[in-house]
Amino acid sequence: MSTFSPLNPHFEARVRDSFARQRLMETIGAFITSVSPGEVEIELPFSEALTQQNRYLHAGVITAIVDTACGYAALSLMPEDSDVLTVEYKVNFVSPAKGERMIARGRVKKPGRTLAVCSGDAFALIDGKEKLVATMLATMMSIRPALPGATSL
């Protein structure tokens, strides 16, 4: 349960609008199921098209949905004029990713003005029960739009 206060009163709409522009999430069929201050949940129906050679969901797909859940959890606590980028993450895969669908939950552990430390878990839903597939620790960075006339790399 979240104990954070968002800086943007419209944080949920902001998160959902940004997620809707993520072409990767659209391509793989992932969708947001919940947004609260410092927490986001994403679901992904199982698809054979996203599996690796042993017919488990590919680790890159699992990593993508957990990273995205962590990023949007961080964004939910950031000011209205900022966005978010992943700085780093470490993920441990603990079980094969096979089930009716995957659930990724991202949570902010420690928010900051520039960096937010997040944790995330991915679960396979099998016969109505969740099985842990992967766990992640991630750092997200707040970015602001460039000033008029500024150059970027």
What are the tens digits of pLDDT across the range 90-146?
999 999 999 999 999 999 999 999 999 999 999 999 999 999 999 999 999 999 875
Q: Which two tokens stand for residue 105?
A: 């939950």
3-state helix, strand, coil in the chain (%, to 5): 25, 40, 35
Q: Which two tokens stand for residue 86?
A: 């992943």
Q: What is the average per-residue pLDDT within 20-42?
A: 97
38 band by pLDDT with thresholds 50, 70 and 90: very high
CA–CA separation, 101 and 23 (whole Å): 20
Domains of the chain (ranges; CATH) run 11-143 (3.10.129.10)
Q: Are 91 and 136 in contact (CB under 8 A)?
A: yes
Identify the three-state secondary structure at position 19. Answer: helix
**What pTM value is reported for the model?**
0.92
H or E segment and range at residue 114 = none
